[in-house]
Amino acid sequence: MFRLYRLEMQKHLPHISFWVMMGLYSILMPLFTWRITTIQNNKLLESFFSFPDIWETSVYFASFFNFFLGFIIIGRVTNEFSFRTIRQQIMDGMSRMEAIGAKVMLVLTLAVWAVILVALSSIILGVLGTPNMADVSIFEKSINLLYFFIHALGYMLLAMLVGFFIKRSGLAYILFFFTWIAELIITARLKVVADWLPYQAFDNLIFKIYQDFTEFAGIEVASNFNLWLPILYIFLFIAITYLYFRRVDL
């Protein structure tokens, strides 16, 4: 396993494009979350930006950038087809299951890094926004980091699936974005299936802060939290990618 991970990272770490994309993500995501906390002027909203609610708030706003992580994965996957890197590895003896496993390791690495950024942002913003640290339970709602981790995994694994199917970066980016648009259209027309669709299933994990905001505004919105469905989608994305890749001609 470590050998696969080392080989996978050797393909990405030397590329400046990888570092540029990761650098942009690592700067823009915490900056956006911080900026949200500075534009609120209503004293009644301060609880959303202090402990322990900051864990929900930061995760909710940071999740907007998981689409960006998906684009990073598409770029890395399609580059390997463009430069025939993955083809060469298969010719050198790597199995197709190992090739997929290596990509899943890359996804896990980016998801862990995203969680670290969100955790650090939450702690810093929570400390700055909490008037009396002695009266709060700092890590009470930190379970939201797990939900964010699953959310990030889902978006990136779907992007990986699209990358393996399309193999061309431009078309893959368009299709990945189109899947989101298509789900929005289906959701608007067939609300009965909305919560069963992949993007909505992952978004429901971090829906709590949105529900809290709407309740604060006097609007009741039903919670559709579901943990098993996003996890099922994660394994489904990996399985479909492998079943397709094992048959495709390189």
pLDDT along the chain (250 residues), means of 10: 87 91 95 80 66 88 95 94 86 89 96 97 88 81 93 97 93 94 89 88 81 54 77 97 87
Domain of 82 in residue numbering reads as: 2-245
The pLDDT, as a whole number, for residue 206 is 87
Contacts of 87-92 with CB under 8 Å at 24 or more apart are 87/250, 89/7, 90/250
Number of domains in the chain: 1
The pLDDT, as a whole number, for residue 198 is 94
Tell me whether residue 56 is in a domain. yes
Nearest Cα residue to 178 out of 159, 192, 196: 159
**In angstroms, rounded to a whole number, what is the distance separating the alpha carbons of residues 229 and 74?**
23
Tell me whether residue 250 is in a domain. no
Tell me whether residue 36 is in a domain. yes
- Alpha helices by DSSP H, listed for 130-207, are 144-166, 169-189, 198-203
Radius of gyration from C-alpha coordinates of the chain: 20
The pLDDT, as a whole number, for residue 217 is 47
As given in the structure block, the two tokens for residue 13 are 């770490």
The pLDDT, as a whole number, for residue 74 is 96
**In angstroms, rounded to a whole number, what is the distance separating the alpha carbons of residues 213 and 217?**
6
Tell me whether residue 69 is in a domain. yes
Tell me whether residue 206 is in a domain. yes
Nearest Cα residue to 108 out of 73, 84, 56, 67: 73
The pLDDT, as a whole number, for residue 32 is 92
Please identify which residue in the block is written with the tokens 């570092």: 19
The pLDDT, as a whole number, for residue 214 is 56
The pLDDT, as a whole number, for residue 35 is 84
pTM for the full predicted model: 0.92
Please identify which residue in the block is written with the tokens 């978004």: 203
